[in-house]
Structure 1
Amino acid sequence: MLLLWLTACGAGPSGDTYPVRLNSVGFLPAKAKIATIIQPCSQFEVKRLADDSTVFSGKVTGPFHQKDVNQNAWLADFSAFADTGSYYLEVPGVGRSVAFRISDDIFRFPYKTAMRAFYLWRCGTAVEGDFNGNHYAHAACHLDDAYGDYTGQKGVIRNGTGGWHDAGDYGKYTVNAGITLGTLFLAWEQFRPALENVKLNLPETAPGFPEYLEELKWETDWLLKMPYPDGSGRVSHKLTRTNFAGFIMPEDDKGKRYFTEWSSAATADFAAVMAMAARNFQPYDSVYAKKCLTAAKNSYAFLKEHPEMKPFEQGDFKTGAYKVKSDKSERLWAAAELWETTGEPAYLADFESAVPDIHPPLIDSDWDWGNVKNLALFTYVLSGRNGRNADLLNRVQKAILANADTLVAKGRRDIYGRPLAGRYYWGCNGTVARQAVNLQVANAISPNRAYTNAVVSIADHLLGRNVYDRSYVTGIGFRPPMHPHDRRSAADGIEEPWPGYLVGGGRSATNWQDKQSDYTTNEIAINWQAALVYALAGLVN
């Protein structure tokens, strides 16, 4: 049996809220520590949980009014206090916070739980794990993936087993797999020493691989089945039923599933991810790495021969569309990753010649699967290869740093430290987490404590320092979501949902609701999850 050891931190009675709001999991000793207080106050005290003794005190700042949540807030900054232990904040005349810890390893458990959530998403195999006294499991599922009716093989089942279920449903989507794996590979490339030291307790499905890469290989194995069998390099946009299954366990989903027609966005995302896989898997399986690189080159060559955008049309399908308005960012990303993996000048030339055509701004604060140019530009800037255009490199570096400065400023102006200040939409929590990528890449270029503290603020916000005074991650922190839009959590007969998943968040500042039926605010998805893993990975010691 595989264990999701330990228990959730900071859990309190259901329905409780506190006027003193903070990261209910805790803080790193040397990083920022800020609480938001929504009642008038002037001072605060940090008290030791064991004996209620005061170990630190200070004055609050504020009040600050924030229109979107219609609240006045006062901020308690206790960043100067660095002693490890368990504490709570006491605010005279207001009350106290939930308990929290200060520790060098405070983000290990949330990171591990969030990363293991990908294992629990696996399709085509049985999975199981224990968490907080519950045993989560499902049997092997979707073993008939999938029919080739829409790719010229009517009635023929072609092997499309494996991979991760995409979200609260059981579909598998190439475009969303692209940004997900791209974010996860980048986390490994940036934070590998720390991540290697976190044991994930995964089943051995790729002997010799580090556990982290072993999980990524599960998804990569599936993606390698998505190109058309004719060898053209075209890649199916998704593998799903024509409509969503009901709220049943995955092994009970017996509906026919299909490879869909290809799209140029899916083909480019595939090429980019396979290039990343090739260089990251090379030390552990050179034959497999070569297979990934060959697939990447083949799909890229097809795109070069067919420069026109090929959109995906839903047709008979009512599952997730993942339609992009333009495939320029995906093609740009494919060129960047193939150059980084191979060093071949032709890929670099393709990338550098395409940068002037991308839609401004050069670096986006708000990005997701529909626009992956940031990943392309981050790979270009972080590369150790020679041959880059010095003027373009300087321009991209400046844009990344200016963007990070903007994110820091926005986070500081938001009473809950949210750098996506003022913007809300389906899946916006994923974007909040993904802004950690912008900040950590900027920090790699020009180390700045403000950048890493802004990443801490992102984690704080997602784990309890928000208008709801709740964690957004199932099983973690104070009053975590109990009813995510997730078919397994709805169908398994266990009250607590499957653990470690980031829910999407409100489509306005105050309309998130913890309701299973509300997929627009309470669904889970692999692209948001990868962003959460990345944000936490940069804080793991």
Structure 2
Amino acid sequence: MLRQITLITIAFISILSISAQTKNIHLNSLGFLPDLKKTASVSMPCEAFNILNTDGEVVYTGKATGPTYQKDVNQKVWNLDFSKFNTQGEYILEIEGVGKSKPFHIASDAFNFAAKTSIRGFYLWRCGTEVKGTFKGNNYHQNICHLEDGYEDYIGNKEVKRDGTKGWHDAGDYGKYTVNAGITVGVLFKAWDHFKPQIEKLDLEIPRSSSKLPAFLEEIKWETDWVLKMQYPDGSGRVSHKLTRLNFSPFIMPDKDHEKRYFTQWSSAATADFVAMMAMAARYFQPYDPIYAKQCLDAAWLSYNFLRNNLDDKGFVQGDFKTGGYQTSDTDDRLWAAAEMWETTGDIIALKDFEKRAKELNFKIEENWDWGNVSNLGMFTYVLSNRKGKNTKVQKSIKKNTIEIGDKLVEMANSDVYARALGGTYFWGCNGTVARQTINLQVANRLKPNKDYIEASIGIVDHLFGNNYYSRSYVTGLGENPPLHPHDRRSGADSIKAPWPGYLIGGGHSATDWVDKEESYSHNEIAINWQAALVYALAGFIN
């Protein structure tokens, strides 16, 4: 018995030792692409490292560089660069004085499964229908929900119900919000525009209602179908800010949420985002479904003409509502709307509208942006457009600023010990912003091809999947030691231990305060705007 206890004790100590070693080796647990940058970070003193194959043979040897001390993580970190090793296969890092990493792959399709899973996350977010999916042996299922969407009490028609079904649940709650739909749909359309051939390689396994549409666009259409219904029924062109109940639901499955839900009053930001989404929808659906594309464009014109005639910034006031506010000024939203209307139609008034607004913003490109500032979407549409008629000075200024911000992000990524292009800035949902910075980098690369932009984008993907302070993936179900307790009502209410898969969580408010706790919505929530950024980041590396 004593010998058995001793053996168990030794085994337990060994497990703890391996765990401690692995925790000090920080790398992208999805793996690496053969011909691009491959790095790992080590938070213990080290000098040399080996790459071992599955037979334990040394296939590559390298030297660590560093250390670099970084204040926000309060660590000295050494860097391992094995970019020159490009043979596909499964490997382990063996680091002198530290230990061994867990196995990782070098493969041309290293990110494909993660890309597919992150896209399918939107299907699993659908409102107003049954959804189901199998992932790693678990069967996830949601019954039909929220068929009573929604009531018009807050737009002047008490007890009148109108069809507001479809769309995606916004985040960890079951509300649907026009402003957050805006940046989400905008980023997903950008992914399609920039990486269509790559995305089409994936079998997304999304239930098809139409053979006319590619699966990726069909999923976006589930959201734009709902967005169309947010336009006021009075023909004015105004758009409701959101469709929710008055308070957040408890942690119940969506089909158990029977509280009354309402169309809220309009806001000018929501109306402008509606215009941008509908103009993009008209453009991207046109080759497959011209009738639907015309419906979207007609709706866009109605709301855009309303905005032209009503220039005041009409903010949203929460009033009785305690659900997500998404209050924001409309300057950036109007700029984006004008850009998309021009790109879709060639309308000269929309072109002049955009160029005037871009000048007023001094052609600024944001490095840190989300739903509250969507001007980048308009700037990028304009600067990449092949339409004639652009003002040369405006084009040059936006191009210059886009490249300068791209260079700045490269510099920040290269100076951060964990390749985080946002540097030491942290806030609610910052992981979504980190992922979204790949749009800046990819657009800069389209304007002025530079491998540094692509490698900084790879560094962002590395960071999100394990090259970070925690040596953990930030995406449920994917990578090493992913989040287990996201702030997500489905994950908290169903009977499955593992959370619904493929979702990027928000992240810490500092470099070291992230907690994997369901109740910590400010650290561990999931949201469609962050998810779209993850989809874009991964789409650029589908093979």
* TM-score of the aligned structures, taking structure 2 as reference length: 0.96
Deviation at 1:503, TM superposition (A): 0.1
Is residue 216 of structure 1 aligned with residue 220 of structure 2?
yes
Aligned to 1:367: 369
Count of matched residue pairs? 527
Is residue 353 of structure 1 aligned with residue 340 of structure 2?
no
SS in 2 for 1:220: helix
Asked if the contact 2:336–2:374 (Cα under 8 Å) also holds between the matched residues in 1, the reply is: yes
SS in 2 for 1:420: coil
Deviation at 1:15, TM superposition (A): 7.2
Q: Distance in 1 between matches of 2:275 and 2:428?
A: 27
Aligned to 2:80: 76
Aligned to 1:166: 170
Q: Distance in 1 between matches of 2:265 and 2:504?
A: 30
Superposition pairs of residues 96-107 of structure 1, within 5 angstroms: 96-107=100-111
Deviation at 1:257, TM superposition (A): 0.3
Aligned to 2:434: 432
Is residue 23 of structure 1 aligned with residue 28 of structure 2?
yes
Structure 2 counterpart of 1:275, which letter?
A
Superposition pairs of residues 90-489 of structure 1, within 5 angstroms: 90-324=94-328, 326-358=329-361, 362-489=364-491
Q: Distance in 2 between matches of 1:98 and 1:379?
A: 42
Unaligned residue ranges in structure 2 (runs of 5+): 1-14
Asked if the contact 1:45–1:54 (Cα under 8 Å) also holds between the matched residues in 2, the reply is: yes
Aligned to 1:7: none
Q: Distance in 2 between matches of 1:187 and 1:288?
A: 21
Asked if the contact 2:363–2:398 (Cα under 8 Å) also holds between the matched residues in 1, the reply is: no
Deviation at 1:206, TM superposition (A): 3.1
SS in 2 for 1:156: coil
| Structure whose CA Rg is larger | 2
* TM-score of the aligned structures, taking structure 1 as reference length: 0.96
Deviation string, structure 1 residues 359-404 (Cα, Å, up to 9, x no partner): x671111000000010000000110111101111011101101100
Equivalent of 1:519 in 476, 496, 521: 521
Unaligned residue ranges in structure 1 (runs of 5+): 1-11
Q: Distance in 2 between matches of 1:361 and 1:406?
A: 16
Asked if the contact 2:363–2:397 (Cα under 8 Å) also holds between the matched residues in 1, the reply is: no
Aligned to 1:5: none
Identity across the alignment (%): 59
Deviation string, structure 1 residues 342-368 (Cα, Å, up to 9, x no partner): 01111101111111212x671111000
Deviation at 1:46, TM superposition (A): 1.1
Q: Distance in 2 between matches of 1:348 and 1:500?
A: 38
Q: Distance in 1 between matches of 2:350 and 2:92?
A: 54
SS in 2 for 1:147: coil
Is residue 32 of structure 1 aligned with residue 30 of structure 2?
no
Q: Distance in 1 between matches of 2:201 and 2:156?
A: 47
Asked if the contact 1:206–1:217 (Cα under 8 Å) also holds between the matched residues in 2, the reply is: no
Structure 2 counterpart of 1:474, which letter?
T
Q: Distance in 1 between matches of 2:279 and 2:452?
A: 33
Structure 2 counterpart of 1:231, which letter?
G
Deviation string, structure 1 residues 155-204 (Cα, Å, up to 9, x no partner): 01100000000000000000000000000000100100111111101111
Q: Distance in 1 between matches of 2:491 and 2:113?
A: 21
Structure 1 counterpart of 2:24, which letter?
P
Aligned to 2:70: 66
Deviation at 1:207, TM superposition (A): 2.9
Q: Provide closer, same or farther for how the CA distance between residues 72 and 57 of structure 1 changes in structure 2, counting only shifts above 3 A.
A: same
Deviation at 1:447, TM superposition (A): 1.1
Aligned to 1:530: 532
Structure 1 counterpart of 2:346, which letter?
G
Deviation at 1:475, TM superposition (A): 0.2
Deviation at 1:123, TM superposition (A): 0.1
RMSD: 1.2
Structure 2 counterpart of 1:337, which letter?
E
Deviation at 1:33, TM superposition (A): 0.5
**Divergent runs of 4+, >3 A:** 12-17
Aligned to 2:11: none
Asked if the contact 2:240–2:264 (Cα under 8 Å) also holds between the matched residues in 1, the reply is: yes
